[in-house]
Structure 1
């Protein structure tokens, strides 16, 4: 239980600090610490990250930091994409989803290590944001990641937003997409007679919310680029482990 609580705290901290990364931690916590089957872990991740994002975004909304036009052009297509990605997942074994999830983690680490979020903030057209929102949404639904590590750079590089505004806006979009994806996964799990463990979702969400508010406070005190690089290294280690375990399961070696 201690490891689960620590995992939940880390989920909230990363969401509060970076506006992303929560679901990349949630899926491994549910799968390897709680022991859930892959598809159930992905569904639970969407529920937990959606709940934490909802509470974490409230202070940003109150302070007027959310760019609502970007929510409209990026978030709504993202909801549609997430629903579609969740539907596609019914045709794919959980082990393959986890292999793709590991590849996504590696890509996220690469972006965090190489993207300078203070540069190249030229605003581009809304069609780019709509297309990006749809594609990131499909990824969210398929492997259970909220996509904050893609949303934040996209809002900065394509939307021309300051980093703090991008983080606040990302949390709103993550909530919207997570709700859409979880709704579809609930249907898929019901068809397979797999019950959702609401107790686990409630516990991790509650601890994660505490961690997220702590992350918001810490984010005002520490260098975000430095944090991203540390988190990126952690993602690489986790990706290698998850990919290795999934390949073993898939091949039976």
Structure 2
């Protein structure tokens, strides 16, 4: 096994570690690790990312359910359009995109390039969300007021983005649950993890019918990530995850810029 591959598996542990420490963000690293460290095709990488993200998030979601932190009504209202969007995106939209999209002055914009550049833009948005991090933790249960049209639209948008880039989209889901459903922050984070878990795994089902899955590799990579979550949860007893979140946001920002640079310069 080459050093870069070993770093890829260490990256899997890091993905879970970040999720366990700060409750999100780790999944945004899955695709870059799979593409650059383990040399997977971006379409395959986004598919595998959905499984890794879905499984690792499910571990956290089960823990939150046992604590009564998941608001199932809100999850269902938000998740149904997201489920539909992510499945249709993976099953039909991604396979329908041509391998070469267009040419600008001899510069060929391929399907893989477009996916990675779009993913980089999502990373930049996620990094800004983590760096700013101005939302206050609410400990008071408020009356939940459902803005159905906006929640449904948000669900469709997040589902489509998740289907394209293979990331959970927690940085989009949590603000939606806080602002549109008026959920307290802690319940929004817990409910988001539940939505991400189910949505990602349903999206992965759209890939099973189109791609040949290397189950031994995928399950091994995912298992390492799950171990990372438990380590991260344990480290939470000694480290304040909130303080790490801003620093991780800057790291994600640099990664997003690096992906844009690498993808454009290799053409």
Q: What secondary structure is seen at the aligned counterpart in 2 of 1:25?
A: helix
- Listed as ranges, the gaps of 5+ residues in structure 1 are 190-194
1:108 has 2:134 as partner: no
Give 1:12-161 correspondences, 5 Å limit.
12-86=16-90, 87-90=92-95, 91=97, 93-118=111-136, 125-161=147-183
Distance 1:61 1:210 in 2: 20
* Secondary structure at 1:188 match in 2: coil
CA RMSD of aligned residues (A): 2.1
Alignment counterpart, residue 181 of structure 1, candidates 185, 203, 206? 203
- Structure 1 11/220 Cα, relative in aligned 2: closer, same or farther at 3 Å? same
Residue matched to 1:192: none
The count of aligned residue pairs is 245
CA deviation string 1:178-214 (max 9, x = no partner)? 112111122232xxxxx32222211121111121123
Given candidates 177, 201, 204, the residue that maps to 2:218 is: 201
Change (3 A) 1:130 1:222: farther
For 2:112 and 2:10, the matched residues in 1 are separated by 25
Which of structures 1 and 2 has the bigger CA Rg?
2
Q: Decide which moves more: 85-94 or 49-58.
A: 85-94
Post-superposition offset of 1:225 = 3.4
> How many Å apart are 1:228 and its aligned residue?
1.8
Query: Which residue of structure 1 lines up, in the alignment, with residue 254 of structure 2?
Result: 237
What is the TM-score of this pair, normalised by structure 2? 0.84
Q: Is the 8 A contact 1:82 1:140 kept in 2?
A: yes
**2:6 corresponds to:** 2
The whole-number CA distance in structure 2 between the counterparts of 1:245 and 1:125 is: 41
Indicate if the aligned counterparts of 1:19 and 1:148 stay in contact, CA closer than 8 A: no
CA distance in 2, matches of 1:23, 1:137: 15
1:200-239 deviation per Cα after TM superposition (whole angstroms, max 9, x unaligned): 2111211111211233344465444322211110111111
Asked whether the equivalents of residues 137 and 186 of structure 2 are also in contact (C-alpha less than 8 Å), the reply is no
Q: C-alpha offsets along residues 33-79 of structure 1, whole Å, 9 cap, x if unaligned?
A: 11111101111100111111122211111111111111101112111
Give the number of the structure whose residues are more often helix, by fraction: 1
In structure 2, list runs of 5 or more residues that go unmatched: 99-110
